[in-house]
Chains A and B, each alone.
Chain A
Amino acid sequence: MPESNSLTKQHLHISMRLNGEPREVSFASYKTLLEVLREDCDLPGTKHGCELGECGACAVLLDGEPVLSCLIIGAECDGREVVTVEGLAKDGKLHPLQETFADCGAAQCGYCTPGFLVTAKALLDRCPNPSREQIKESLSGNLCRCTGYQQIFEAVEASIARIAACRVSGNSEVV
């Protein structure tokens, strides 16, 4: 096997904005953002199902865009903004998507859920009133083996109204 001498492995040190807070972290230089989050930042909420870009379980928001943390090297995250499922709730209040996912049955085993949640959040941030087609499209890079997706679509749709209500009531920091 192509050898990489494990003894010469160095650690890297980066700083990023993680779930709204400044965060310094050092990690083995070969690690992906997924591994850094789970193993070095104590944030195991981000999941993994393939580590090759083929399932969407590891999705996080990087500078606001949903990306696959299994295909981003940690070294490239210096100075960037990362949001994981752990960063969706604010001030002890769940994000409306989290509420509707829980209410509508959108999380069965819950393993794909973090990836769906951050991806749906990015959609609603960019497009507050998406059609069913747009919801399907934007979630087409997230596999779920449990739900058959219907309750996930319903949860996203249900959250649209809740987010609008939050906006009206001036409770905008939640969304």
Chain B
Amino acid sequence: MMRLPHFTYRAPKSVAEAASMLASGPGEAMLIAGGTDVLPNMKRRQQTPKTLIGLRNISELQTLTNGDGLCIGAGVTLTALVRDARVRIHYPGLWQAVAQIATPHLRNMGTLGGNICLDTRCNYYDQNYEWRKAIDFCMKKDGQTCWVATSSPKCLAVSSTDSAPALLALDARVRLVSAGGAREVAIADLYQNDGINYLTRRPDEILTTVVLPDPKGRKSCYWKLRRRGSFDFPVLGVAASARFEGDTVVNINIVLGAVASRPLLASKAAAALLGHRLTDENIATAAGIASDAAKPMDNTDFTLGWRKRVVREFVTLALRDLRGDDVRAERYRYALQSLEAVG
């Protein structure tokens, strides 16, 4: 049995209380929401906080309310999101992403906030203490070298959250609260391309709310690639959203997940489609551009060459999906189920 290291558990009842706890023990305390990321990391001794600050008793983090669009508390579970009709109907891209996270049990436990802040992953790093010792550790924790690219000055661990690409594509914003105040940023600005410092969140900040804009006229979708229809983290996620006037694209986002240390905005590919119709040729061009931007590394399941090749196929599928093609067969093929059964 793998055991957790010793820690002290604290259970604040409000965001303010949690923020002051976080402020008082900088670097020593970590937030725990569903615990499905932080606890495995602690068992493997990748993260060893002296204090865990539990968010589950903070009711203000559990709410799902209507704003211009939708305000989702960071503590809302993934299952609650999957079962929410507003998410399902108005933000299908987010719904498809969340419905394909991990397993049903893990979605019952895991939260949206935890998913957004999910640690980056690498199969030299997501290993037990003893294993990492056998390779002399790596740059991300306790070591010097990055084994994925030994000359790399930075860690290349992979952003593996499914919800983040979908949220970026939907132009979501996030609210961060600390003892010193609150701020709201575009979710795209929450991330940076560094496997160690992958968030711009300050260590004393709590992510409280995800704000989704008015969904009107916006189509969205998410395509996830993983070996099995359950359990597995994405080895590629393609999120896309667009508004059309007639057939013409007037606004479009394409975001790639699991090909860098942050969700990657394929802005050039999107720009190539702006003001155009989603014809097969235009889709092919955009898919080519997007796949050039993707730089998968050899630190996940599957080979990197293949993962890069599939980027083109998945961007094509996502764009065809937005265009309104019937892609149910392809959906079934890669999701290994019809997502309707999830819930």
A/B contact in complex, CB under 8 angstroms: yes
Do A138 and B45 touch (CB < 8 A)?
no
Q: Contact check: which of A9, A76, A133 meets B338 at CB < 8 Å?
A: A133
Complex CA distance for A9 and B2, rounded to whole angstroms: 17
**Total residue contacts A-B, CB cutoff 8 A:** 109
Complex CA distance for A165 and B3, rounded to whole angstroms: 44
Contact with B along A54-75 (1 / 0, CB 8 A): 1010010000011110011101
A147 within 8 A of B: no
Complex CA distance for A31 and B6, rounded to whole angstroms: 9
Do A53 and B5 touch (CB < 8 A)?
no
A159 within 8 A of B: no
Q: Which chain B residues lie closer than 8 Å to A53 at the CB level?
A: 36, 39-40, 102, 105-106
Q: Contact check: which of B32, B35, B342 meets A137 at CB < 8 Å?
A: B342
Interface residues on A, range: 35 or more
Do B103 and A141 touch (CB < 8 A)?
yes
B231 within 8 A of A: yes
Q: Which residue of A lies closest to B340 (CB)?
A: A133
Chain A nearest CB from B299 CB (Å) reads 18
Instruction: Choose among B4, B5, B7, B36 the residue with the greatest number of A CB atoms under 10 Å from its CB.
Output: B4
Interface size for B (C-beta < 8 A) is 40
- Additional A-B contact list (8), CB under 8 Å, known A8-B6, A53-B36: A6-B6, A12-B9, A31-B4, A71-B36, A73-B9, A75-B11, A133-B341, A140-B104
Q: Which chain A residues lie closer than 8 Å to B152 at the CB level?
A: none
Do A54 and B231 touch (CB < 8 A)?
yes
Instruction: Choose among A6, A53, A72, A138 the residue with the greatest number of B CB atoms under 10 Å from its CB.
Output: A53
Complex CA distance for A56 and B102, rounded to whole angstroms: 11
Q: Which chain B residues lie closer than 8 Å to A169 at the CB level?
A: none
Q: Which chain B residues lie closer than 8 Å to A8 at the CB level?
A: 6
Complex CA distance for A134 and B129, rounded to whole angstroms: 38
Complex CA distance for A75 and B289, rounded to whole angstroms: 50
B54 within 8 A of A: yes
Chain B nearest CB from A46 CB (Å) reads 12
B230 within 8 A of A: yes
Q: Which residues between 119 and 169 of chain A lie within 8 Å of chain B, taking CB atoms?
A: 119, 131, 133-134, 136-138, 140-141
Complex CA distance for A51 and B39, rounded to whole angstroms: 10
Do A32 and B108 touch (CB < 8 A)?
no
Complex CA distance for A119 and B230, rounded to whole angstroms: 15
- Give the top 10 A-B pairs by smallest Cβ distance, nearest first: A141-B103, A4-B6, A140-B230, A137-B341, A2-B48, A75-B9, A133-B341, A4-B5, A51-B2, A141-B105
**8 A-B Cβ contacts within 8 A?**
A2-B48, A9-B6, A51-B2, A53-B36, A73-B9, A140-B229, A141-B102, A141-B230
Chain A nearest CB from B76 CB (Å) reads 14
Q: Which residues between 38 and 55 of chain B lie within 8 Å of chain A, taking CB atoms?
A: 39-40, 43-45, 48, 52, 54
A35 within 8 A of B: yes
B178 within 8 A of A: no
Do A71 and B9 touch (CB < 8 A)?
no
Given known A2-B48, A73-B39, contact A141–B337 (CB-CB < 8 A): no
Complex CA distance for A59 and B54, rounded to whole angstroms: 21
Q: Which chain B residues lie closer than 8 Å to A68 at the CB level?
A: 36, 105-106, 109
Q: Which chain B residues lie closer than 8 Å to A67 at the CB level?
A: 105, 108-109
Contact with B along A28-54 (1 / 0, CB 8 A): 011110010000000000001001111
A1 within 8 A of B: yes
